[in-house]
């Protein structure tokens, strides 16, 4: 069907990302077209979180159809270079810090470009060149750095100041760009323009050799890593949740299994007279302990679910006017601290994220998909309501999606209430939680977890859940998470 689609809802991590998606819908595109256009724009205006040198996942459901999962996440290199450049930096969130590793040796085989083309090839309607064009225009013209992007730059400043290339892009006058200053990227504009014209063939013939110039002697990747890479289509995990069904990211991603385990625990324990946040924290702790006790063996964890029932990351959620949906989560880690000469983007540092690659410098198996906490999610209530959501937030993503789903599906809160409500995260027996819970709930949480940290304000540390919903009567809702300056738009 090629007719124009009327209406739609979009939520994403930047106003211009949302505008790119809306433009695709207005041009007659569907939810997949809008998500692809938004993904290219995110590479321009959310350059730490999204990059052609990264990867991701997309959950897609055409009107009424069973969702499908496109896995285009990073893969471990086919060879190990024992002399690779791989070193630690500290990201400072203010209340806590997190260690990441950067350098060319932290880069895994990226899947972003082949993945977006594969997603579009199966489900898109508009020509890819039309979806790339708005991002190329903004990259060349420049955009104003917003408060969130400036704050994020400060948090990971050791990465953005790590090399001559990153300093030229993110600190052209010596200091990091601040809120209100302009960030233009003509090299990225040329990359996008060439990609729009030449497609995947140009990418392999021209862009990949330039990406490999950063790898020679300092990284693990070779030409065959790119030649051997292909996106994978997978069957999502399907879970019951309150009065509906939820489709989650399946293995080799870790997120869906852990969310499902926590959800099942909560379904058994939740009661209106109990401290719900305490039950949720216990459920998250349960899933985390199971993962650690299994030695991060996802097959063992997935077996507990039985048969299917009847970090530097950003997310895009779209529902089109026909009820088609696309939840697309992409990540570049935080970037490896180097910009590809002439292309204007940082490759990923996925091998440098402990939650993605617990093996560290070189202990990982070669040629396998890395596990991930990214969790693009689609849910349908018994009443026909459709929810599309996902989040950034490194290893906190599983907690974000679990909590938002419980609020949407079990408590039946509005989209804004569920997204903006206070969050908590449990890992290795340690609890972090935001302000906003009832005082009795906060005190009960502190008693349950003596090792805890109560944050003074809502923080990007707890992710950025951008979500859209379509009610049975066709009413659309969209909410961008204020923790990450999310933006949203509804076209009725």
Q: Which residues are catalytic?
A: 313
Check: CB of residue 24 under 8 Å from CB of residue 39.
no
Question: DSSP 3-state assignment of 86?
Answer: coil
Q: Virtual CA dihedral for 354, 357, 360, 366, nearest 10 degrees?
A: -170
Report whether 397 contacts 313 (CB < 8 A): yes
Confirm if 338 and 214 have CB atoms less than 8 A apart: yes
378's enclosing H/E stretch is: strand 377-381
Q: Can you list the positions of beta strands (E) in 289-334?
A: 313-320, 325-331
Distances in Å between the Cα of 401 and the Cα atoms of 98, 125, 132, 227, 252 are: 21, 29, 29, 34, 18
In the numeric block, the tokens 């077209």 are attached to: 33
Answer for the pair 171, 159: CB distance below 8 angstroms, yes or no. Answer: no
- What are φ and ψ of residue 325, in 5° steps? -135, 145
Alpha-carbon distance of 387 to 397, in angstroms, equals 17
Instruction: State how far the Cα of 490 lies from the Cα of 479, in Å rounded to an integer.
Output: 10
Taking residue 106's Cβ as centre, other Cβ atoms within 10 Å add up to 30
CA distance 202 to 390: 31
Report the distance separating Cα 329 and Cα 194, nearest Å.
24
Neighbours of 263 (CB within 10 A): 24
Give residues with Cβ within 8 angstroms of 60, minimum separation 6. Answer: 31, 32, 67, 68, 69, 70, 119, 122, 123, 324, 325, 326, 327
Question: How far are the Cα atoms of 25, 252, 292, 299 from residue 303, in angstroms, in the given order?
Answer: 40, 13, 15, 6
Dist. CA 289–CA 251, nearest whole Å: 18
């Amino acid at each position: 069907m090629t007719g124009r689609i009327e209406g739609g809802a979009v939520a994403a991590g930047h106003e211009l990302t949302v505008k790119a998606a809306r433009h695709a819908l207005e041009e007659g595109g569907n939810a997949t077209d809008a998500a692809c256009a938004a993904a290219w724009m995110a590479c321009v205006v959310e350059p730490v979180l999204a990059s052609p040198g990264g990867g991701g996942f997309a959950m897609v459901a055409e009107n009424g159809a069973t969702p499908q999962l496109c896995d285009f996440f990073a893969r471990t290199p086919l060879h190990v270079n024992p002399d690779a450049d791989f070193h630690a930096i500290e990201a400072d969130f203010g209340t806590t810090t997190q260690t990441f590793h950067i350098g060319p040796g932290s880069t895994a085989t990226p899947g972003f470009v082949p993945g977006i083309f594969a997603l579009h090839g199966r489900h898109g309607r508009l020509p890819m060149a039309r979806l790339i064009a708005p991002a190329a225009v903004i990259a060349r013209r420049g955009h104003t750095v917003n408060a969130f992007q400036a704050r994020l730059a400060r948090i990971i400043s050791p990465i953005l100041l790590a090399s001559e290339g990153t300093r030229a892009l993110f600190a052209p006058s010596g200091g990091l760009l601040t809120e209100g200053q302009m960030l233009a990227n003509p090299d990225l504009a040329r990359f996008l323009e060439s990609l729009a014209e030449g497609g995947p063939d140009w990418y392999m013939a021209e862009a990949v050799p330039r990406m490999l110039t950063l790898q020679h002697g300092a990284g693990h990747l070779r030409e065959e890593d790119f030649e051997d890479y292909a996106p994978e289509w997978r069957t999502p995990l399907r879970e019951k949740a309150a009065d509906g069904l939820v489709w989650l990211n399946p293995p080799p991603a870790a997120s869906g299994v852990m969310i499902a385990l926590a959800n099942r625990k909560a379904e058994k324990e939740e009661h209106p007279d109990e401290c719900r946040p305490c039950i949720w924290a216990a459920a998250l702790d349960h899933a985390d302990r199971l993962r650690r006790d299994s030695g991060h063996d996802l097959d063992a964890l997935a077996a507990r679910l039985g048969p299917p029932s009847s970090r530097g990351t950003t997310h895009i959620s779209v529902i089109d006017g026909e009820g088609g949906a696309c939840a697309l989560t992409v990540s570049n880690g935080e970037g490896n601290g180097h910009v590809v000469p002439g292309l204007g983007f940082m490759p990923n540092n996925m091998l440098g994220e402990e939650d993605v690659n617990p093996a560290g410098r070189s202990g990982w198996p070669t040629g396998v998909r890395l596990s991930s906490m990214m969790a693009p999610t689609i849910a349908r209530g018994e009443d026909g309501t459709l929810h599309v959501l996902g989040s950034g937030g490194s290893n906190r993503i599983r907690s974000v999606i679990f909590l938002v789903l419980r609020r949407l599906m079990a408590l039946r809160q509005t989209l804004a209430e569920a997204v903006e409500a206070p969050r908590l995260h449990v890992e290795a027996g340690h609890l972090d939680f935001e302000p906003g819970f009832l005082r009795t709930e906060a005190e009960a949480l502190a008693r349950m977890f003596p090792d805890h940290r109560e944050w003074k304000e809502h923080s990007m540390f707890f992710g950025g859940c951008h979500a859209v919903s379509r009610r049975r009567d066709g009413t659309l809702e969209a909410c961008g998470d204020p923790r990450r300056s999310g933006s949203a738009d509804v076209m009725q």
